[in-house]
Structure formats: structure tokens, C-alpha cells
Amino acid sequence: MKFATLKDGSLDGRLLVVSRDLQRALAVPHIAPSLLDALQRWPAVQGALQAAYDTLSAGPAPADSFAFDPVACAAPLPRSPQWLDGSAFLNHGRLMEQAFGTPPIPHFDTVPVMYQGASDDFLGPHDDVPLPNPADGIDFEGEFGVVTGPVPMGVSPEAALGCIRLLVQINDWSLRALGPHEMKTGFGFLQAKPSTAFAPVAVTPDELGSAWREGRVQLRLQVQWNGERFGEPHGGEMGFHFGQLIAHAARTRRLTAGCIVGSGTVSNAARSAGSACIAERRVIEKIDLGDIRTGFMQYGDRVRMQAVFEDGRPGPFGVIDQRVVAAPAAG
Amino acid sequence: MKFATLKDGSLDGRLLVVSRDLQRALAVPHIAPSLLDALQRWPAVQGALQAAYDTLSAGPAPADSFAFDPVACAAPLPRSPQWLDGSAFLNHGRLMEQAFGTPPIPHFDTVPVMYQGASDDFLGPHDDVPLPNPADGIDFEGEFGVVTGPVPMGVSPEAALGCIRLLVQINDWSLRALGPHEMKTGFGFLQAKPSTAFAPVAVTPDELGSAWREGRVQLRLQVQWNGERFGEPHGGEMGFHFGQLIAHAARTRRLTAGCIVGSGTVSNAARSAGSACIAERRVIEKIDLGDIRTGFMQYGDRVRMQAVFEDGRPGPFGVIDQRVVAAPAAG
């Protein structure tokens, strides 16, 4: 199944079922008003949602369906109970340690690292990104993520894979000038992580076919900055699978339905894949070329992200395409 | 005004207006079904809530009021958009650095440190605390906190004081064996911070009279562990006031109505005040006595916390009284 959320002025938005080809959409308030509500009552609504999806995808288009417009969409979950972001691409983590000059993270290969992000105010796929200061080192981070059902405290990595309800594509906005200080405090990222953005469509894992494999999203994430190719790293190189990340998050807490667990920046060891964030390109420049040549984003800059299958077909999540703007002055 | 939340099986619970003397309560579904809803529509409901509170507190008791039972209460906000916990008692932070043997936090006296906690699954004041392993170093942390209205990105500390809607009393459960590793990763606390608990009553700042002063809760926090006195540090020694903490949190994000910002463990420089968490007592033992004599909590242990005015009268938040239990095995 494919889902999106129409902006309607409410905190959770209006659930849309989206056709397999991403052309048509259908509101289903008689089944669930919002995606969060559907996730909270998943066993009760899953069958009806599947039937609506099958009908919409098979054609002819139901009379109450309409053209799917990603620009009118919020994040699939405009707010979520928790947003827990790992750093599971070990290549990225190792490069970033070099970038920040921080000591090696202990047990980095065997214990996931993860921070808790704000989950009450996500950005939609085409929303502008208001930020207070270009000197903060504005950066994008292309990621994949999963949306969970209820997860008990102490779940095993294998059982956690069974708690995955949906897959999502993420742009984890980051402010690189603020990150190193927050890492040094030991309290973790806060100001360095403003509102996170999501591609319009959340999908059940079966939509990926064999590209959902080994608990990983086996797609390339194509990233463009101001219309130029930036990278297309592959999601299969995650050092931990999503079941391991969920189990890490749930070690001392339960997760309620709708929690989102992220992969961290998609990153490949092969230099030819490019990068999914500017910070990584900068440290590669320093290592390979001897000096940093790329600056961070400025107001007016755009970033575009789209997942693609290995044969080049577009992935199921739709497109993130955002512009950085100056935040309005506080009143 | 004083508010509490009755457990009713829903995610946000049922809003109760509580009388000034904490003896009577009144549900007000015609005004707002939940405290979160009231906070989201505060300008529209504030007057009606004040009228209900005044009537309930003046007596005679309205026919639909009932005896206030804190044991039936959830946290005032069973879930909240964000839970951002500072470490604003500098005495505590300095002692903890000694405890963990970590390098000094840079700019600790001038820039608040703060972590983002889980905010989807708070514990009520008398809820058992299910945890997976006593070897994790189970500890309580007595704190004060504020609940905000909408806060714009970039708010000043002074303007942030005007965004405070409610004051709360907090037990920020902590797992000390897990904290040092998570601090070293730079990603901050996650497993080390299981579900946080709250005293039953949230109050508007005017309820404290002159004990809400300089952006600080000027009450002592009496803490008992298994019925024995543990400490009663005073809330006035915060190194940053709550407006500064809110402004720090909102530097690169807006806060939506209902966000909670915590003080961190209440802590005083005077040894006679005792402590509001075990970790602090342990490091004081090490410093003053040469060795650590106090262990962490075991299953079955209880902690009780109550704020009191300087003249010894009970504070307005009610009592936290919780027992640590073994978490059920994951299914």
C-alpha cells in the first residue's frame, strides 16, 4: 500500500491512499481520518485500506478519487510519537569523525548510535525550510526510515523487523556549525537538528518487492543540489538493519504506534556514489584533495531527493524538493 | 489554576480542574477534553477554565465535582509534543562530570545543555516503573519544569518567559550504567532515559505567588527513597532561568503548544540540602568520604518527591510516589 497525507490545517492531516503508479489519490475518512490514527488501529483498518488501495490501483478510477498532488502534501506523519535517528551507514560515521576531529565513537561497529529528534513539527516534501542563520552550516541529509507499530521494551532485532509497518524517505536537515559543540556536551543534537522533512509517500514494505531485503531499503537515493548531481548512494550498505535499530531504541522503553526510526545519512564506501549530505563531501574533499572546496547551503538554495530502483525506475516514495529560506524574526 | 489528567484509556486522558486546596476535582469536557487540547486553544478556553477553577475552589462544591484522587491520575500531559530537559543546576552538572570522569562540558556556565527525551509515553505520579535490568543503574532525578504555549523560532529569553503556561514537577528516570557510553557517542541520552514521570498537578505560575520568581520555581523538592530522607534541594539555585532554557530550545525550531522544558536535577551547593538523585550522592560520597557507599535502586524500591514552600507548606504539584518493577519479557 501507498499512503500520503493532505494538508488540511489539522495537526495530523488527512490520510490519502495513493495508487500504485502515484497518479491518483483517495481520502478514506470512513476508514481512518489520518495516517497516525490508522497506525494506532492497524489490525482493525489494514484490510479496508488494502481493499481501497487495490481498487484505486486497478482502475477505472473511483468517482471520488482525484489526481495525486505531492505539493499539497504534508509529511506522511506530520507529527509522530518519536523520531529516533540512527547513524547506521558506518562509512558516513567514520568520515564524519574525521570531519569533526572527534575521538572515535566507542563500539561504533557493534552498537548503533542514535539520537532523539523533535517529532511534533515535520516538514512536507515541498515545504520551504525556514532557518535563522546561514552561518549555522545548513546541510541536508538523505535517509531512509521505518514507521513502527507498537514495539515492546526489550524486543529482539528479529522480532523488531516484524513491527515495521511502513517505509519512508527522509531529509534530516542539519546545522553543521552547531553539531560539534552539542556532541561535546554529551547531551547530543538539539539546535543542530531543526525540523526534519519527508518524501510524500509512505509505503508498506511489500511495495519494494525484493528491494526490501535484509531489513534494508535496497534503493539508490539520488540527491541534487540546485539542480546538479550530488550523489546516489545505495541503501544496502547499512551496517545495522532496521530491526537492529528498532531493538536499540526499545532497549529501555516501549515504542508506541507511529514511531519513526531513521537510517542516518545514506553513504557508500565507493567514492563514485557521491554523497547524500554536504558534510560528507567536504571531508572527502579534505581527504582526497587536501582542502575543502564546497560550502554549505545559502538562502534560496534547493535540494532534491528521489529514491530509484537499481534499474533506474523511480522508487515509491515520490520526491523531496525543498528551498532554504530565512526564518521570520521572532515577535 | 490547577489541572490534572484522569486516566480514561485515551492517549491524552481527561482534563480535570483541581481545587486550590487539591481536595476536589471537576471534569470540564464542555471546555476542553484534555489538557493538551486546552493548551492548543489556550486563548479561547483560559477564561472558562479560570471561572470553573474559581467556582470549584470557592465552594460549596459543585454537584458534579468529586474528591481528587491523585492515584487515578496520569501525568498532567500523558504525551507532549516535545520533552526537552536541561541541566541548569550548575552544581549538579559539575559534580556529575566528576562522577563520570568526562571532560568538562564546554561553555557550561554560559550555554545551557539540553537533551531531547521521549514524550509519547509519560508515567503518572503513582505508576510503577517497569525497567529491564537492575544492573543498568536505576536512578531517579527530581526536577521542575514548564509547559509552553506556542514559541516562535529565535525567541528571546525574556519573551520566552511570557510563553510559559504551566509549571510541573518531574521525576526524570535515568539508567546510570548506560549514560556514560551514550555521552561519549556525542549523540546523547536515549537508552539512559526511559519514560519520565510527573507529579499529578500542573499549575499556572500565579499559583506559586512569590515562589515563582526570576523565572525559577523557588520551592524545596523533598525526596525520600524507601521512606528515608534523601534531600530537599531548593529550586532557586538554577544557573539559567526557564526563559533562557526555552530560548535555547527554540534557537533553530519553533515549539508547539504543550512542549515541556525541564530544569535538570535540582541541586544545591550546600551539602546539607542532600540530593535529588542517587548519582549525585554517590559522587559526593566519593569526594567527601573517599569511597562510594550508596548503590542504585533495586526492584521494589520506592521514591517519593514533593515540593514544599520555604515555610514548609506543601507545594501545589502533589506527590510523586513510584515503585521500580521488572519489565515484562518482550513477546
Buried/exposed code over B228-259 (b: 16+ C-beta within 10 A; e: otherwise): eebbbbbbbbbbbbbbbbbbbbbbbbbbbbbb
How far from the centroid of its chain's Cα atoms is residue A173's Cα? Answer: 10
Q: What is the pLDDT of residues A110-159, one digit of tens each?
A: 999 999 999 999 999 999 999 999 999 999 999 999 999 999 999 999 99
Q: What is the pLDDT of residues B150-165, one digit of tens each?
A: 999 999 999 999 999 9
pLDDT band at B194 (very low <50, low <70, confident <90, very high): very high
DSSP B226-292: TTEEEE--BGGG-SS-HHHHHHHHTSSS-B-TT-EEE--S---SSGGGB-SSHHHHHHHHHHHHSS-
Q: What is the pLDDT of residues B57-84, one digit of tens each?
A: 998 999 999 999 999 999 999 999 999 9
Looking at residue B99, its pLDDT comes to: 65
Of B87, B121, B253, the CB nearest to A118: B253
Looking at residue A128, its pLDDT comes to: 98
Residue A62's SS3 state is: coil
pLDDT band at A97 (very low <50, low <70, confident <90, very high): confident
CB pairs under 8 A between A and B: 165
CB contact under 8 A, A136 and B256: no
Cβ atoms of B38 and B45 within 8 Å: the answer is yes
CB contact under 8 A, A192 and B152: no
pLDDT band at B45 (very low <50, low <70, confident <90, very high): very high
Q: Rounded to a whole number, what is the distance in Å from the CA of B101 to chain A's nearest CA?
A: 12
Q: Residues B246, B251, B254, CA angle at the centre, nearest 5°?
A: 75
pLDDT band at B100 (very low <50, low <70, confident <90, very high): low
Of B81, B102, B331, the CB nearest to A120: B81
For residue A308, is pLDDT > 80?
yes
Percentage of residues of chain A with pLDDT beyond 70: 99
Looking at residue A331, its pLDDT comes to: 62
Q: Rounded to a whole number, what is the distance in Å from the CA of B122 to chain A's nearest CA?
A: 11
Q: Rounded to a whole number, what is the distance in Å from the CA of B67 to chain A's nearest CA?
A: 32
How far from the centroid of its chain's Cα atoms is residue A147's Cα? Answer: 10
Please report which residue ranges of chain B form alpha helices under DSSP H. Answer: 35-40, 42-58, 90-100, 157-161, 179-185, 242-249, 278-289
pTM of this prediction exceeds 0.90: yes
Looking at residue A100, its pLDDT comes to: 64
Looking at residue A103, its pLDDT comes to: 77
Q: What is the pLDDT of residues B289-307, one digit of tens each?
A: 999 999 999 999 999 999 9
For residue B258, is pLDDT > 90?
yes
Looking at residue A160, its pLDDT comes to: 98
Tell me the CATH class for B83-326: alpha beta
CB contact under 8 A, A253 and B79: no
The helix or strand, by DSSP H or E, that contains position B304, with its residue range, turns out to be strand B302-308
Q: Determine the average pLDDT of the residues in A32-42.
A: 98
CB contact under 8 A, B106 and A185: yes
Domain locations in chain A as residue ranges: 2-72, 83-326
CB contact under 8 A, B331 and A130: no
